A and B are shown apart, each in its own frame.
Chain A
Amino acid sequence: MTDSSLSTRQKVERSLARRRATETRFHALGFMAVLFGLLSVVVLFGDILLKGSSTFRQTVIVTDIHLDAQFLGLTPRSKEAHIRRADFEGLIRQQLHAAMPTMTEDEARELHRLISIGAAWQLSDWVVENPQHLNQTIRFELLADHLVDQWFKHDRRKGISQRLSDVQLSWLHEWADSGQMYTRFNRLFFTHGDSQEPELAGVRGAMMGTFLTLMVTLVLSFPIGIATAIYLEQFAPARQWINLVEININNLAAVPSITFGLLGLAIFINLFGVTRSTPLIGGLVLTLMALPTIIISARAAIKSVPLSIQEAAYGLGASKVQVVFHHVLPLALPGMLTGTILAMAQALGATAPLLLIGMVAFVVDVPNAISDPSTVLPVQIFLWADSPERAFIERTSGAILVLLGFLISMNTLAVLLRQRIERRR
């Protein structure tokens, strides 16, 4: 050992360079770990934004349409039901033909494929509202098919095309160059339910389903969660009962969410006969999932109410129930609300338990009551992600953006609320 001849001081000084290098490496490693985490956030959001932001633009083709009353079999005084039955699809075809008289039949069929079947519905909607324009020529924005939409938004600049023939491309180029084809805000995405046609599929149904489900969850979980917290903090006489409930709450907070779906399926649906696929059953299951979060935050909020306030109330002759409900609860309420909003945000993203209780049905109609069949936003995302159509991938990302938008606003609300409480103290 050569080291034995050196003094301790010399040993330390010799090792110093190595130790400092280790320190730098360790520091850098830690920094890289944080950076990796932050980068993941950026990449995740960036990727979804990149894929999804084009959802909010929809390609339309503007064209002159002569509302031929004779062709449609309508008069300005026709009833709404009558107008809805009229052959607007035929009218659009006839008008497109008229613009290009030299077309063969095959070409005509290819031309029709560029226009969405939704265009005829939109035209009939328009005529229902403006029957006085019958027999006039109007400029109307025809909804483009999803293949056209994807080509115009993504492939045109790259000079590629998917599933479009040469003759179709030549028309598309012509329309694009003449300014007849452009994109506008995709209102349909927010006003329509699900559809087989990507250009007609929207998140309205899923949003309503999510809203109703969360309402059921809130109405059930907020009172039950707060009552439990109050009981555990203020009334429970026996330590054993508190322990038992506490253990159960901790278990429920840690159990995988899919097991709540098993419970919903076996107990709510099979035993009690609740209808599957409805916001009611979804809300029931999510209530059980949200309870632990609400109870834990509500207990913390009650604990933070100063004892002096309670003692002052007792001193004035209030009963236990009066002290709790007149003094403790109002002061703890903001903290409880913060926890409840966070629990609702969690419930908003929950997917797995809802899959098991049948909220995966293809639902076109927008649900209006908690007993209507419906789906929710995350499940809608799951369903669309399964579709092979390229346009559905874009819509999936769009729906994710809507979901994240809701989540971010709910979390911001919770944070603001918490800051207000902290400032007041």
Chain B
Amino acid sequence: MNDSTLFIVIVLTFIGVYRLGRNRAQALAMAGTRLHSLPSHYGVLLAMWAGLPVLITLLLWRLLEPTLVDAMILRQLPETVRAGSDAQVQLAISMVRNIAAGAALATPDGFESSVSHVIALQARMVLLQAGVLLAVALFGLAVCWYRFTPNQAARTDVERMVRVLLLCSSAVAVLTTVGILASVLYESWLFFGMVSPLEFLFGTHWSPQISLRDEQTGSSASFGAVPLFAGTLMIAMIAMLIAVPVGLMAAIYLSEYATDSVRNMAKPTLEVLAGIPSIVYGFFALLTVAPLIRELGTALGVSVSSASALAVGVVMGIMIIPFISSLSDDVLNAVPQSLRDGSDALGATRNETIRQVVVPAALPGIVAAIMLAFSRAIGETMIVTMAAGMVANLSANPLDSVTTVTAQMVSLLVGDQAFDSPKTLAAFALGLVLFITTLALNYVAVNMVKKYREHYD
């Protein structure tokens, strides 16, 4: 039985049990008995008693089954393999699994018994699973069926259950943050057990790839992340140099000067820039902007790297324009009209009003918008992965190729990885730095906006 049939069977059973409970209550009601709740409540209650234990059992089963099967395969493996290292045993287990699933063609000598055992085991597991699930469902059904009385408070029970389910859903967001923090902190902890945090934060040499070969582990790989931080900052700065003036001026123009028709046309079009996936910007930077800047440099007699920070920064800046423009637009519109009227009455021109009254009044909100955009620029991954360099240069020249924190995270984690090597764990340490930085920026920005709102509301 595969997953989709199982799913359909479970759903159908749910519906069937629901109707069973509802019809029973309905029949009683027809016969003139007064029920505490609506018939459908009794149906839902019965379905919950039968269904929820099944779902929980299924979840536990899915979590535990692989470990169990692995242990059983292990006992069946030939002696020679079992005596080998952990990695060899793991390899043998996964091979047996693959052969049993029909993925590999030939069965190597000595493995026939384990393979046939696994096939038999899996068949039995499916039967056992179905049996256990059925038993659990029937037990729940029976308990609820016999507890049934006409004045049983089915509605209260059902509604209590609904509240619990809703509460659990709202916990998912909290659990996600906890999950991110826990995974990043734990792996970083392991990493800092191998590499000193001081070397990581202040070292100027980054070459994690060398540790790929076993004999060199730890000896010549170096994890000084300063070039990464510098590269990230440089690219983000270039992006802000484009996005802040353009975004801010566009917001001012749209909120203070533009007619309604221009505004209604231009605002959604600008927001299209925010809706385009960053992979598209990456492609644009890689194949259009970078060659363009390189040719321009050659024409001017300057040597430009083919993966220059400038190209990446410019494209990232274009991507970030709408973040700044729409957030600033909102805060500019929130400035009370009376301030503008007062300034106009004193004889100020439009731009004097804007520069000396409106923008200073909206400044906290604008700064917050810039900070949010900056955190977006630091965390942007695809543009830099595609168009920025992979070699960690410590350079202040925007025409050089630099690498960033996110680009290195991708290059460290894509492909095969061993989870105990400092190379993989380094990515989590970088993730920790990134997480803390963006969180701090957002925290400050959000509070700033809140304060500013209180100021005018």
Binding site for B on A (CB under 8 A): 12, 19-20, 22-23, 26-27, 29-34, 36-38, 40-41, 44, 47-48, 51, 223-225, 227-228, 230-232, 235-236, 241, 244-245, 248-252, 254-263, 265-267, 270, 272-273, 288, 291-292, 295, 319-321, 345, 348-352, 355-356, 360, 369-371, 378, 381-382, 385, 393, 396-397, 400, 403-404, 407, 411
Q: How far does the alpha carbon of A420 sit from the alpha carbon of B184 in the complex, in Å? A: 44
> In the complex the two chains form, is A258's CB within 8 Å of B386's CB?
no
Residues of B within 8 A of A23 (CB): 349-351
Chain B residues lying within 8 Å of A397, measured Cβ to Cβ, are 283
A256 neighbours in B (Cβ, 8 Å): 375-376, 378-381, 406, 434-435, 438
0 or 1 for each of B320-347: is its CB under 8 Å from A? (1 = yes): 0110010000000000000000000001
- Please judge, given known A-B contacts A40-B321, A352-B381, whether A252 and B277 are in contact too, CB under 8 Å: no
Contacts of A360 in B (CB 8 A): 414-415
Cα A29 to Cα B249 with chains together (Å): 7
Tell me the nearest residue of chain A to B417, going by C-beta.
A265
B173 and A319 within 8 A (CB): no
Most chain A CB within 10 A, of B186, B253, B325, B406, is at B253
Residue of B378, B410, B438, B439 near A352 (CB, 8 A) is B410
Inter-chain contact B180/A230, CB cutoff 8 Å: no
Q: List 22 A-B contacts (CB under 8 A).
A: A23-B351, A26-B354, A27-B351, A31-B257, A34-B254, A36-B246, A37-B322, A41-B269, A47-B284, A51-B287, A227-B166, A241-B170, A245-B170, A245-B174, A255-B439, A258-B410, A267-B183, A348-B277, A351-B277, A360-B415, A369-B2, A404-B280
In the bound complex, CA of A382 to CA of B280 (Å):
9
- Are the C-beta atoms of B254 and A259 separated by less than 8 Å? no
B: residues with CB less than 8 A from A are 2-4, 63, 66, 155, 158-159, 162-163, 165-167, 169-174, 176-177, 179-180, 182-184, 186-187, 245-250, 252-254, 256-258, 266, 269-270, 272-273, 275-284, 286-288, 318, 321-322, 325, 347, 349-352, 354-355, 372, 375-376, 378-382, 385-386, 406, 409-410, 413-415, 419, 427-428, 431, 434-435, 438-439, 442, 446
Contacts of A27 in B (CB 8 A): 253, 257, 350-351
Question: Could you tell me if A356 and B410 are in contact, using CB atoms closer than 8 angstroms?
Answer: yes
Known contacts A252-B177, A255-B180, A385-B283, A235 near B385 by CB under 8 Å: no
A345 / chain B contacts, CB cutoff of 8 Å: 275
Complex Cα–Cα for A321 and B378 (A): 44
Q: Closest CB-CB distance, A58 to chain B, in whole Å?
A: 22
Is B174 a contact partner of A321 (Cβ separation < 8 A)? no
**B356 to A: closest C-beta gap in Å:** 12
Complex CA gap A227/B165 in Å reads 8
Knowing A22-B349, A245-B173, A352-B385 are in contact, say whether A37-B246 is a contact too (CB < 8 A): yes
Interface contacts (Cβ under 8 Å), in number, total: 256
Given A259-B435, A267-B183, A291-B176, are A228 and B169 also a contact pair (CB < 8 Å)? yes
Q: Which residues of B contact A37 (CB under 8 A)?
A: 246, 250, 266, 269-270, 273, 321-322, 325
Main secondary structure of the interface of A (DSSP, over half): helix
Task: Tell me the minimal C-beta distance from A304 to chain B in angstroms.
Answer: 19
Please state if A22 and B378 are interface contacts (CB–CB under 8 Å).
Answer: no
Would B279 and A351 count as touching, CB distance under 8 A?
Answer: yes
* Closest 5 pairs (CB-CB, A-B): A256-B379, A349-B277, A30-B253, A266-B183, A33-B249
Least CB distance from B105 to A in Å reads 17
Distance between Cα atoms of A272 and B155 in the complex (Å): 36
Asked, given contacts A227-B165, A231-B170, A255-B379, whether A44 binds B275 with beta carbons under 8 Å apart, the answer is no
